[in-house]
Structure 1
Amino acid sequence: MNENTDVMKNLFLPVFLIAGSLFASCTSAVFKPIPSANPWDDNYLSVAKMENYRQWGTYNVHDPSCRKLGDYYYMYSTDAIFGENQKEAKEKEVPLGYIQMRRSKDLVHWEFLGWAFPEIPEEAVRWVQAHAGGHGATNIWAPYIIPYKDKYRLYYCVSAFGRKTSYIGLAESVSPEGPWTQVGCTVKTDDSTAMNAIDPSVIVDEVTGKWWMHYGSFFGGLYCVELNPETGLPLKNGDLGHLVARRANYRKDNLEAPEIIYNPDLKQYYLFTSYDPLMTTYNVRVSRSDAAEGPFVDYSGKAVKDTTNNFPILTAPYRFENHQGWAGTAHCGVFSDGEGNYFMAHQGRLSPQNQLMVLHIRQLFFTPDGWPVVSPERYAGTVPRKFTEADLAGEWEIIRVQEPKYERQLEAGQILWGEGELKDGEWNLSTRISLLKDGTCKGEMTDDEWKIVQMNGNWSFLTEKHLLMVKFGKEEINNLIIFAGHDWENETETILFTGLDSQGRSVWGKRIK
């Protein structure tokens, strides 16, 4: 294990446990942002051709599932490739196989291993094409990895776009790198079912040992089915499970990509979901429960299967200064290193065209009241450090992450052809505030209507817990988590914060001066 990985062991304890243990070093000098080059470029057009696939370490990542397995973090993702050319791939003997595999020791530098399968499993192809008029089953979506005893289980889905004709299959291997043996079908759906068999995520109940698979999409919502631990398949043959989450106008308001984790310190199960179209306003929400199978409630205590729009909102399209911005920031994988440190992985689509798919990995923390929040910046191996109140005084760039206000016409929960760029009402843009040495603050901030308002107020810092409090007007934003991180837009190491406002919307910040 390298030096960066050792440092990471203590990065992400729940906030109420940090009290000095989060930080590896301390300095008496007042902190200033430190120049530091980005580990890789965001634009990968120079290595986008089929023969360059071994250079796709953080590129062409879509719907990632990641887990620490032995000495490596292994990642599996949908075989979505910018500029994919099947003819060219065949000519140049590129082994396209429909589940991309990667590994990393530090969560920064990723090795592209190739593809898990040599072809789409025949049983999945037969089911989908037989129930979709011969269409669909052209690639594999949204794999999910989980170990069991001395082997590894890889769930995956095959579908026909815009239909409920789908198939979630299971393969196993004695190595996280394969080769994989097909086990069989977990769930399959068609136009006659209420649900859609895509996007599997599996959790083991910490008390009962029961296995549960969450899955589904905008077609009818998200469902949860009990699995047989010994086989990895449904405990009851043909069982499709029970409803977990849905949105009222499901044909228009997309809901998909469940990801379920358990936090043993908080004794809570967290269900991460994705809202809206994947190429544009894709955003991550989260709910929680005492039980792996639910029911789940949101930030306001509302049941997430009651068709309301739920909060917290953790990620959404955003743009800091000095960058063109990111869209499609959802369909996340959430994972731990096994020592209390948490991360979120998801795709980001490089704006303005939103076609290049780049891996985003963010540090994930839990607020004092037990809600997950993520870093405003991608993880880049920053060495942690302890900060003082004097370190925080300076100019900050901040973003209030909110749901999109612009109403689009959608089809099957996705944007119409030619509508792939973000509109003005869909961006989360940054503003600037200054934290002054006398404990006052001033600057600009967006309100609930996305209007920029002038703010004057006060701030304070709980040094031992590393929590920032900001008050302006009648609004207080408390328990903003302060930590060291990498500023990708300005290529510096700096101070970051993340947290939630009183309505469950993420608030992000980074010190720039």
Structure 2
Amino acid sequence: MHLRLVSLLAAAMVALLPGTARADVTYPDPQPVTGRQIIHDPTVMRLRTGGYVAYSTGGVIGARTSKDRVHWDDAGNAFAEPPSWWYAYNDTGDPWAPDLSYRAGHYWLYYAVSSWGTNHSAIGVATSPTGLPGTWTDHGKAFASERTDTWNAIDPAIVRADGRLWMSFGSYWTGIRMVELDPTTGKAAEGAPVHHLATRPDAPYAVEGPYIVRHGRWFYLFASYDTCCAGVNSTYRIRVGRATSVTGPYTDSTGKPLLEGGGDLLLAGHGRYVGTGGESVFHDRGHDWLAYHYYDAEDAGTPKLGLNALTWTRSGWPKVR
């Protein structure tokens, strides 16, 4: 107990040092969930008809549904079969890291297809009238990257800003990027430049999985830092910065740019909850929620659904509860 107290006090002192991004000493556990808890890179939404749906990496975009946000049932997959064009990016037609949004009377599902360790990658887009699995129509590639590019077109996330539609994305390969979308097609606007939002100082630039939320006059960029997908050896953690423009520049609470490795630590592994990341944010009846996966150290590192309320401090920074 004495050593633990010393450790906590030291961490608290570091958090107060000038030039050090705000960091919590302890982190809340995810809210209790039951049923089908296994998930990776979740995107969650309360449907307009009631109830919740979550899509994730695994299967042909694995689906979960819930009536109360607590008990989750396996709902199959977004698609019955992989669209044929996916096989140009991996041999198994395996999709990653979906993002679910709603606009113009339709649900929109973005997702990535790629192979481990390459930026020969593509982000696809599909629409649905209900948002439920089995109702999706695929519309092909929204954006792609090749081995000659300095970015990686995976981990998409959609945000609207000032009447325009944007997609953040990125994993390693110099970090987080953004491109404007055509709101009619949902695909990259013709000739749209690729903006740079966040990176790490050194290769391999281990930051990925962006998600941008507007709160008040600020845009907040959440991203997963460090190592994913290694079970109990994962070091994923969620950091955040903010900007007054959706395209940046994003800085943390000390003013350090995310393009220079900045980012306030929002949530890190603790206890049985290892490698917290693959995050998204959803709004539910007046409240914001953070969805993510963690690797359960008490269940052989199985990836499971984490949900926490997301609140905002008086200074305008997010905090998990």
Q: TM-score with structure 2 length normalisation?
A: 0.84
**Distance (whole Å) between structure 2 residues aligned to residue 183 and residue 197 of structure 1:** 17
Q: Contact between 2:256 and 2:263, CA under 8 Å: does it hold in 1?
A: no
Deviation at 1:344, TM superposition (A): 0.5
**Distance (whole Å) between structure 2 residues aligned to residue 352 and residue 370 of structure 1:** 35
* Aligned partner of 2:223 among 263, 273, 277: 273
Q: Percent identity at matched positions? A: 33
**Distance (whole Å) between structure 2 residues aligned to residue 225 and residue 249 of structure 1:** 24
Deviation at 1:297, TM superposition (A): 1.1
The residue type paired with residue 371 of structure 1 is W
* Aligned partner of 2:304 among 358, 374, 379: 358
Q: 1:250-289: per-residue Cα shift (whole Å, max 9, x none)?
A: 31x51000011112xx221111000011131100000111
Q: Does 1:145 align with 2:118?
A: no
**Distance (whole Å) between structure 2 residues aligned to residue 218 and residue 351 of structure 1:** 26
Partner of 1:245: 198
Q: Contact between 1:261 and 1:335, CA under 8 Å: does it hold in 2?
A: no
**Distance (whole Å) between structure 1 residues aligned to residue 181 and residue 93 of structure 2:** 27
Partner of 2:293: 347
Give ranges in structure 1 of 5+ residues lacking alignment. 1-37, 41-54, 80-96, 130-135, 320-324, 376-513
* Aligned partner of 2:131 among 168, 176, 193: 176
Partner of 1:314: 266
**Distance (whole Å) between structure 1 residues aligned to residue 208 and residue 300 of structure 2:** 20
The residue type paired with residue 316 of structure 2 is G
Partner of 2:207: 255
Partner of 1:198: 154
Partner of 1:159: 114
The residue type paired with residue 87 of structure 2 is V
| Aligned pairs for 1:299-338 within 5 A | 299-306=253-260, 308=261, 310-319=262-271, 325-338=272-285
Give ranges in structure 2 of 5+ residues lacking alignment. 1-31
**Distance (whole Å) between structure 2 residues aligned to residue 39 and residue 218 of structure 1:** 31
**Distance (whole Å) between structure 1 residues aligned to residue 156 and residue 193 of structure 2:** 12
Q: TM-score with structure 1 length normalisation?
A: 0.53
Q: Contact between 1:318 and 1:327, CA under 8 Å: does it hold in 2?
A: yes
The residue type paired with residue 101 of structure 2 is I
Q: Contact between 1:137 and 1:159, CA under 8 Å: does it hold in 2?
A: no
Q: Contact between 2:175 and 2:206, CA under 8 Å: does it hold in 1?
A: no
Deviation at 1:240, TM superposition (A): 5.9
Partner of 1:66: 44
**Distance (whole Å) between structure 2 residues aligned to residue 174 and residue 357 of structure 1:** 30
Which structure is larger by alpha-carbon Rg, 1 or 2? 1
Local SS of the residue matching 2:85: helix
**Distance (whole Å) between structure 1 residues aligned to residue 118 and residue 33 of structure 2:** 40
Q: Does 1:218 align with 2:172?
A: yes
**Distance (whole Å) between structure 2 residues aligned to residue 352 and residue 338 of structure 1:** 33
The residue type paired with residue 76 of structure 1 is Y
Q: How many residues were matched structurally?
A: 284
Q: Contact between 2:171 and 2:207, CA under 8 Å: does it hold in 1?
A: yes
Q: 1:393-447: per-residue Cα shift (whole Å, max 9, x none)?
A: xxxxxxxxxxxxxxxxxxxxxxxxxxxxxxxxxxxxxxxxxxxxxxxxxxxxxxx
Deviation at 1:311, TM superposition (A): 3.0
Deviation at 1:102, TM superposition (A): 1.7
Q: Contact between 1:72 and 1:104, CA under 8 Å: does it hold in 2?
A: yes
Local SS of the residue matching 1:125: helix
Deviation at 1:137, TM superposition (A): 4.8
Q: Contact between 1:287 and 1:298, CA under 8 Å: does it hold in 2?
A: yes
Q: Contact between 2:86 and 2:94, CA under 8 Å: does it hold in 1?
A: no
In structure 2, the CA distance between the partners of 1:374 and 1:212, relative to structure 1 (3 Å rule), is same
**Distance (whole Å) between structure 2 residues aligned to residue 193 and residue 74 of structure 1:** 34
**Distance (whole Å) between structure 2 residues aligned to residue 246 and residue 119 of structure 1:** 35
In structure 2, the CA distance between the partners of 1:338 and 1:189, relative to structure 1 (3 Å rule), is same
Q: 1:270-318: per-residue Cα shift (whole Å, max 9, x none)?
A: 1100001113110000011112222211111122112x2x231011110
The residue type paired with residue 125 of structure 1 is Y
**Distance (whole Å) between structure 1 residues aligned to residue 248 and residue 76 of structure 2:** 36
In structure 2, the CA distance between the partners of 1:294 and 1:255, relative to structure 1 (3 Å rule), is same
Q: Any runs of at least 4 consecutive aligned residues in structure 1 with deviations exceeding 4 A, and if so which?
A: none
Deviation at 1:199, TM superposition (A): 0.2
In structure 2, the CA distance between the partners of 1:194 and 1:240, relative to structure 1 (3 Å rule), is farther
Local SS of the residue matching 1:217: coil
Deviation at 1:111, TM superposition (A): 2.4
Q: Contact between 1:168 and 1:185, CA under 8 Å: does it hold in 2?
A: yes
Partner of 2:10: none
The residue type paired with residue 74 of structure 2 is F
In structure 2, the CA distance between the partners of 1:110 and 1:154, relative to structure 1 (3 Å rule), is same
Deviation at 1:369, TM superposition (A): 0.5
Q: Larger strand proportion, structure 1 or 2?
A: 2
Partner of 1:230: 184
